[in-house]
Structure 1
Amino acid sequence: MTLFRIRDFHPDDIDGILHLWEEMRTAGTEPVYGLSEVLASCQHDHAVVAVEDDAIVGVAVGRAAHAQGWIVFLSTERSHQGRGIGGRMLAALEKRMSPLGLSKLSVLLPETVSRVDAFTGQGFEAKKNLVYFERQIPVQRNELSVLSELGGRVLPRGLWDSIGGMQREKDLLERRLVMPLAKTELAEQFGVIPPSAVVLFGPPGTGKTTFARAIASRLEWSFVEVFPSRLASDPAGLAGALRETFVKIADLEHAVVFIDEVEEIAVQRGGEPPSAMQGVTNELLKIIPSFRDQPNRLLVCATNFIRSLDSAFLRHGRFDYVIPIGLPDEEARTSIWARYIPQHTLEAIDVDALVAVTSGFSPADIQYAAQKASHGALERALDSADDVRSDDGPRTEDYLVAIAETRATVSNEVAEAFLEDIERLARL
């Protein structure tokens, strides 16, 4: 019988490990850790291989997290099983990891694994009454430096659910954007091509930025906001900086890219002499098709003035949908007021009355009025001769006065123009 030997992993061993990986899957056992994780641990953590006649016949891969060690992958070529190779590899791997001061070495195995003698032979014990949970983190460690360089971030989960009301807009964005991107295989089964770019339009302060962030949170993708005003100071110029930014974005696995007030860089072209911004508009029009060719990407452009956008910008083939985001409905206004009223006084406030008199207010208008009422109540309390009690706070009258002194951002003319834009330009 030919003898095998155990040695440390070499980069040239990857093809042999791929063979063992595929052999395990072909036999009906899906490894617990993904192939990319196994290969990453081979290169950056701890791995040993069993070699016979210069061929890889087994591999054991481990990873340490503080005092806890994990066996990430253990496989022996089917024709070599029963020769004690697995046990020898585990022993060699544990020896190499022992300087780390581990207090525990654990392994997770698929239910379909029947041969566990390599583990029991090395002193591993089966633990009963354990339930294993896992959650995939979409943003990988090697993306974080790129994300930081772009000024992007991973947004907290739950932003989507925190948007109260606006149910029509939420349902539309859920059906058109979120679900096809979150369940790409199912979408493609039905012939639905996941969207790559969308325009959100509506009056100022209606929550377009909030929706863009909520979409990224819902998908658990990186969120990168592109600020044309910041790029303008780049030595390469605005057009060049815009191009370089999207080149860097291509290094991210998943990303929602947001450009607010996109009318600043996608203005209607024409006129003599040509505007200095026309070159920037041309660059953006060239960027979008190449961006659309990359999977797991969504470009969200927001504008308050959709009529000022270049006509070529909105054509089919560049943006999948052009979606209106209007003023908050009653349910949304109720949720917004509840967010800004101190919790200890909320039950004493007639929120229904505040909702009734703020029809036509944007979320930003409501926030302003709420803060104005809070400041007024605070000043009244400080001017009072009595001590401030723990249950003191703004009253309904404070909010009604603040509302009366707040001018709505969206005028009747702007609201009417928005309805016309929906008829002419919306693409749902």
Structure 2
Amino acid sequence: MTGWRLRDFHPDDLDGILALWEEIKASGTEPVYGLSEVLASCEKDDAVVAVVGEKVVGAVVGRAAHAQGWIVFLATLEEWQSQGIGSALLMALEAKMAPHGLSKLSALMPDTESRVDAFLSRGFEVKQNLRYFERHIPVQREELRLLGELGGRVLPRDLWDNVGGMAAEKELLERRLVMPLAKSQLAEQFGVAPPRAVVLFGPPGTGKTTFAKAIASRLEWSFVEVFPSRLAADPRGLAGALRETFLKISELEHAVVFIDEVEEIAAHRSGEPPSPMQGVTNELLKIIPAFRDQPDRLLICATNFIRALDSAFLRHGRFDYVIPIGLPDAAARRSIWERYIPASTRGAVDLDQLVESSSGFSPADIEYAARRASQNALEDAVYTAGGASIQSGPSTADYVAAISSTRTTVSAEVAAEFLEDIDTLARL
């Protein structure tokens, strides 16, 4: 008599699986698959247990993916090891999974695991020179439906790296926002409260929206942009729609919420009788404290006209930082130009001249000038030159001509006011 027998898993065995899991953890070995994955596979995939009486002393769990099978979990209580239970479990699992039509059955083991005799005795081979890669998906399937209702999305992971230049702004946002949120436990250890709400301010076209998206990309959090103009058409009114939107947002696990041109709904409250927008401002002022109580989310409000914001809106306790986003410096302009000059002509273009000529340009201005130069050069090559001698792309002269005909978004007066606002309103 072996003292043990094998049978199919049933839900009453969950406690036994948990006991096996805890014994593995107590031995200092970190299982490849998480406990939640193992328990889920027990119930929906294939599992076999070894029992003495009704006590679970061993278990094996498998998962099929087309013709490939994976061993998700294999364990035997220490007192019952060296009795052939592991090999018997693997044999029983292979038979149970046979209807899947598997051509291969594989297992991943921690490099600290030394008890591999069961695998070797069942004909498993140790594969050399293999690496195990793992990535946690930041937004789960259950969230995607809600995210779709909100008009939100999961942004590509490379947006942060693709922000050209703006090194000073990127470093500030990385240190103040991204790092404390991405490493919240370490931040708590140092007594740092991760930010919950910030304001980005600066002249039009300086990249505030781009930075908001890049922060969401960097954190790998859902990005939800709230459009007051769209909410205004809601039958509940703008204030009611705003409240309902933030209630839905509270159901997301992680989120960066972005409100552009926030001065439209948070302007100075004044006048008798109160304007309809004052009720919207009041509602937003109530929403922000409730939003701040929820972990793993960040509200980013952007404005071109920070002086228009209600004084109560900007006070301490609502926003952790009020961060200026200004015109790109020479290094940033160079990086932006490099993004738009085609590779075929890049070496022939005098980049230094473009950087100098575009002083005072916003990123949007540079993009416009670059695209205009490309379009003009293409038209000239096709229609003026008649295709007889088509150059490889826009020349320095094409870009300089486009720069000279581009009206800058930010006037000298607006730029001067922005510098004053940094002194009086910025909070870094």
TM-score of the aligned structures, taking structure 2 as reference length = 0.92
Match of 1:171 in 2: 171
Residues 344 and 391 in structure 1, CA contact (< 8 A), matched pair in contact too: no
Distance in 1 (CA, whole Å) between partners of 2:56 and 2:242 is: 48
Equivalenced residues, count: 427
Identity %: 71
In the other structure, the counterpart of 1:271 is: 271
CA distance in 2, matches of 1:86, 1:246: 52
Deviation at 1:173, TM superposition (A): 0.7
What does 1:356-367 align with in structure 2 at a 5 Å threshold? 356-367=356-367
Contact 2:381 2:390 in 1 (8 A): no
Name the SS for the 1:302 alignment partner: strand
Which secondary structure does the structure 2 equivalent of 1:287 belong to?
helix
Distance 2:325 2:405 in 1: 26
> For 2:181 and 2:114, how far apart are their aligned partners in 1?
37
For 1:414, what is the secondary structure of its paired residue? helix
Task: Give me the whole-angstrom Cα distance separating, in 2, the residues matched to 1:256 and 1:338.
Answer: 29
User: Alpha-carbon deviation of 1:306?
Assistant: 1.3
Partner-residue secondary structure (3-state), 1:165: coil
Cα distance, 1:113 vs. partner? 1.8
SS of the equivalent of 2:366 reads helix
Shift of 1:427: 1.0
Q: Does 1:115 align with 2:115?
A: yes
The code of the aligned residue for 1:215 comes to I
| Shift, 1:395, TM fit | 1.9
Is the CA contact (8 Å cut-off) linking 1:6 and 1:89 kept in structure 2? no
Is 1:8 the counterpart of 2:9? The answer is yes
Q: Quote the offset at 1:92 in angstroms.
A: 3.3
Partner Cα distance (2:276, 2:212) in 1? 29
Q: Which residue of 2 aligns with 1:294?
A: 294
Secondary structure of residue in 2 paired with 1:223: strand
Secondary structure, in 3 states, of the residue corresponding to 1:344?
coil
- Name structure 1 gaps, 5 residues minimum: none
Q: Offset of 1:6 from its aligned partner?
A: 1.9
Q: Kindly tell me: are residues 385 and 366 of structure 1, through their superposed partners in 2, closer, same or farther at Cα, counting changes over 3 Å? A: closer
Shift of 1:122: 2.8
CA 1:157/1:78 → structure 2, altered by over 3 Å: closer, same or farther? Answer: same
Counterparts of 1:30 and 1:283, CA distance in 2 = 48
**Counterpart in the other structure of 1:258:** 258
Distance 2:397 2:373 in 1: 9
3-state SS of 2:180 partner: helix
- Does residue 69 (structure 1) correspond to residue 54 (structure 2)? The answer is no
Distance (whole Å) between structure 1 residues aligned to residue 277 and residue 45 of structure 2? 50
Q: What are the equivalent positions in structure 2 for 1:1-80 lying under 5 Å apart?
A: 3-10=4-11, 12-80=12-80
Q: Residues 284-332 of structure 1, C-alpha deviation per residue, up to 9 Å, x if partnerless? A: 2222223222222122111111122222222222221111100011111
Please tell me the residue identity of whatever aligns with 1:7. D
For the Cα contact (< 8 Å) 1:5–1:50, is it kept in 2? yes
- Cα 1:91–1:171 change in 2 (3 A) is same
**Cα distance, 1:155 vs. partner?**
1.7
**Secondary structure of the corresponding residue to residue 248 of structure 1:** helix
Equivalent residue, structure 1, for 2:317: 317
* Runs of 4+ deviating beyond 6 Å: none
CA drift of 1:221 comes to 2.0
1:52 Cα deviation after fit: 4.2
Q: Deviations over 1:349-369 (max 9, x none)?
A: 112111112111111111111
Q: Secondary structure at the match of 2:368?
A: helix
Partners of 2:303 and 2:354 in 1: how far apart?
A: 29
Contact 1:260 1:303 in 2 (8 A): yes
Shift of the alpha carbon at 1:138? 1.9
Query: Matched residues in 2 for 1:347 and 1:16: separation?
Result: 68
Q: 1:253 to 1:16 in 2, by over 3 A?
A: farther
After superposition, residues 396-407 of structure 1 pair within 5 angstroms as: 396-407=396-407
* C-alpha distance in 1 between matches for 2:66 and 2:396: 54
Q: Deviations over 1:69-93 (max 9, x none)?
A: 2112222333433344433333333
Gaps of 5+ in 2: none
Relative to structure 1, the CA distance from residue 103 to residue 337 in structure 2 (aligned partners, 3 Å threshold; closer, same or farther) is same
In 1, Cα distance between the equivalents of 2:46 and 2:284?
Answer: 46
Kept after mapping to 2: 8 A contact 1:160/1:217: yes
Q: For 2:143 and 2:360, how far apart are their aligned partners in 1?
A: 42
Q: Deviations over 1:361-393 (max 9, x none)?
A: 111111111222222222222322532656432
Are the aligned partners of 2:381 and 2:391 in contact in 1 as well (CA < 8 Å)? no
In 2, distance between residues paired with 1:107 and 1:375?
Answer: 57
The TM-score with structure 1 as length reference comes to: 0.92
Alignment partner of 1:221 is 2:221? yes
Secondary structure of the residue aligned to 1:343 is coil
Q: 1: distance between equivalents of 2:262 and 2:44?
A: 43
RMSD: 2.2
**SS of aligned partner of 1:267:** coil
* Matched ranges for 1:96-111 at <5 A: 96-111=96-111
CA contact (8 A) 1:5 1:52 kept: no
Q: Give the Å deviation of 1:27.
A: 1.8
Partner of 1:351: 351
**Residue of structure 2 in register with 1:141 after alignment:** 141
